[in-house]
Amino acid sequence: MITILWKKLKNYFYELNFSLENLITKLDDNGLETKIIKKNEEIFLEFNPLPNREDLFSKEEIIREISIITECSLKKSFLFNNNFSKEEKIIEIDQNFINKKLGEKLNHNLIKKTLKKMNFSFTEEINNQKKFFVKIPYYRIDINKKIDLLEEIAKVYGYENIGNKNFFNENNFVDINNNYEDKKRKIEDYLINWGFQELITYSLISSEIKKKFSKDDNNFYYLINSKNKKYFRHIIFPSHLDVIYRNISHKNNNLFFFEIANVYKKKKNNIFEEEILTLSFTGKIFNQYLHNNDSFVDFYWVKGFLENILDLWNLENEIFFSNNDFHFLSFFQRADINLREKKIGFLGKIDSKILKDYNLTEPVFILELSFTKLFSFIDKNLKICYSNNNNFFSNYPISEKDISLIFSEDIDYKTIIKKIEQKNILFLKKIEIFDIYRNEEMIIKEEKSVTFRLIIQNFKKTLENKEIEKVIFNVIELLEKEFNAKKN
């Protein structure tokens, strides 16, 4: 812990525009836990950086962090006295990069004008990209990369002047047919933003590991010339258990890992290659002892986290979970992940016997998801999922309407949903089964009442009541005609 006298801290800055209470709140919100200590009529601030902030274990580093969080400039005297480099950095940035990231078309002269407002000197290279070479003052320790400079440009230009038209443009925002690597990068970014760390582990396993985690001996490939027979793995998470053990033995707890790697299987005497995302979790999701706000990873949190990933393509309602018989997972906390009719992965809690073999005492949860199958589904089916619209978001409200109809007992729900999707009813964004009900009379007649939830939306304007009613009428008419449905 690092302690700094409050009145001395203020003297390091040209102007620290925060009251003591507001400053502490802002620092806490940004992960720098701070406590007030009163001693001999003096006020001290005690700073307790998070364990993963190894860059914040000196007074100078804490003061610089406060400068970045509060956006208050440090006095030159502090920079000189602490051997801060007086060299001015030069950052290269071009017009295309600025416009692409901001979603706004800033012309060359406007960018020049903005840089001059920032009092940054720069030179230009006029070509197709229109590059700027910007000299960053040595006291601006918060600007180290191109993205930092872009943030400063956006701030000076004015966030309120950046429109949303480009972000909600059908062609610009939603790229249904983006390539495989773009989809993968989207998930990687999401995981990293959540605090996951990436692993790269060995793709070969021993015969002991193969026997422990697989009951199928015939579908493995192995290295012929290996001294000790090594097999290409079918699942990735056993390697994560070794990594988790090593981390916990070094007092590193609350672990969130991900790995993207290929597995190889035999399929009708041919090699089948599949890219898999593996997530492993153990410990606390949040660890803020100052606020007594602890939450531990459990099966339902992992399930919800998967749904959030699939929500990147609005697929959270396309999946369902079914039981599996994997012996390495806890009997009551394991499930296969199914995307419509196809299994694309599994999740669960590692069985206590397996954990004991790895000298682990804390619960460990794992999730494996086939990128190969998931991205193939997205490429083939995404347009159907969104019905007539290729947008994820709209500025206009969604209307949710429930309708109930009576069907024959043996009706196939998937067939109903598929038929409605194929009809491409205007403004119907999504339809899902909300409830199924049978009373004694229906049981005798071998019927059941099915309630559907209709998600209705126009991406260009707010729908009128008559337009919503027309969607409902078209759905009911289709169900009556195709499936002999009756109104309740």
State the CATH number of the domain containing residue 436. 3.30.70.380
CATH number of the domain to which 222 belongs = 3.30.930.10
Question: What pLDDT shows up at residue 313?
Answer: 83
Tokens of 419: 């038929």
Answer whether residue 237 is part of any domain. yes
Q: Return all residues near 190 (Cβ < 8 A) that are at least 6 apart.
A: 309, 312
For residue 302, with 0-12 CB atoms within 10 Å meaning exposed, 13-18 middle and 19 or more buried, which class applies? buried
Interstrand relation of 131-136 and 89-94 (parallel, antiparallel or unpaired): antiparallel
Crossing angle of the two packed helices 146-157 and 95-102, in degrees rounded to 10: 70
Q: What was the pLDDT predicted at 174?
A: 42
Looking at residue 256, what is its pLDDT? 94
Asked if 208 and 305 sit in the same domain, the reply is yes
Same domain, 246 and 326: yes
Give the model's pLDDT for residue 89: 80
The closest of 130, 57, 125 to 97, measured between CA atoms, is: 130
Pairing of strands 342-350, 329-339: antiparallel
Q: Are residues 284 and 364 in the same domain?
A: yes
Q: Does 167 map to a domain?
A: no
| pLDDT for the residue numbered 171 | 38
Whose CA is closest to 150, among 165, 136, 169?
136
Q: Identify whether residues 373 and 232 lie together within a single domain.
A: yes
Decide which of 320, 350, 381 is a domain's last residue: 381
- Residue 442 falls within a domain, yes or no? yes
CATH number for the domain harbouring residue 62: 3.30.56.10
The predicted structure's pLDDT at residue 442:
85
Tokens standing for 324? 């599996």
| Residue ending a domain, choose from 58, 81, 104 | 81
Are residues 362 and 435 both part of a single domain?
no
- Using CA atoms, how far residue 477 sits from 37, 217, 429, in Å, is 72, 54, 18
Does 95 lie in the same domain as 76?
no
Question: Do residues 318 and 438 both lie within one domain?
Answer: no
Provide the β-strand partners of residue 261: 276
* 289 and 232 housed in the same domain: yes
Nearest residue to 471 (alpha-carbon basis) of 483, 459, 458, 482: 458
Tell me, yes or no, whether 386 lies in a domain: no
Residue 405 identity? L
Domain residues for 421? 394-487
81, 111, 132 - which closes a domain: 81
| Co-location of 428 and 282 in the same domain | no
> Within 431-464, where are the H helices?
440-445
CA atoms within 13 A on the CB side of 222: 16
Question: Can you spell out the DSSP letters for 135-157?
Answer: EEPTT-TT--SHHHHHHHHHHHH
Contacts of residue 107, defined as CB under 8 A and 6 or more positions apart, other chains included, come to 95
Give the C-alpha separation, 417 to 432, whole Å: 7
How many domains does the chain fold into? Answer: 4
- For residues 374 and 235, state if they share a domain: yes
Is residue 171 a part of any domain in this protein? no
- For 63, which DSSP code? H
Whole-angstrom Cα distance, residue 51 to residue 33? Answer: 11
Q: Are residues 40 and 105 in the same domain?
A: no
363 domain-assigned: yes
Q: Quote the CA–CA distance of 401 and 434 in Å, as a whole number.
A: 11
Tell me whether residue 169 is in a domain. no
- 318 with 372, same domain: the answer is yes
Domain contains 304: yes
Sequential pLDDT tens for the chain (488 residues): 788 888 888 888 877 777 888 888 888 777 778 888 888 888 988 888 766 566 667 788 888 888 888 878 777 666 555 555 556 788 989 888 888 887 778 888 888 888 888 888 888 887 766 888 998 887 676 787 888 888 888 888 877 676 544 433 333 334 444 578 888 888 998 898 888 999 988 888 887 888 888 866 666 766 665 555 577 888 899 999 999 999 998 888 899 999 999 888 777 677 778 999 999 999 988 544 444 556 889 998 999 899 889 888 878 778 888 888 888 999 889 999 998 778 999 999 999 999 999 999 999 999 999 999 999 888 877 643 443 344 445 567 788 899 999 999 888 877 888 889 888 898 898 888 877 888 888 888 888 888 888 989 887 788 888 999 999 999 999 999 999 999 87
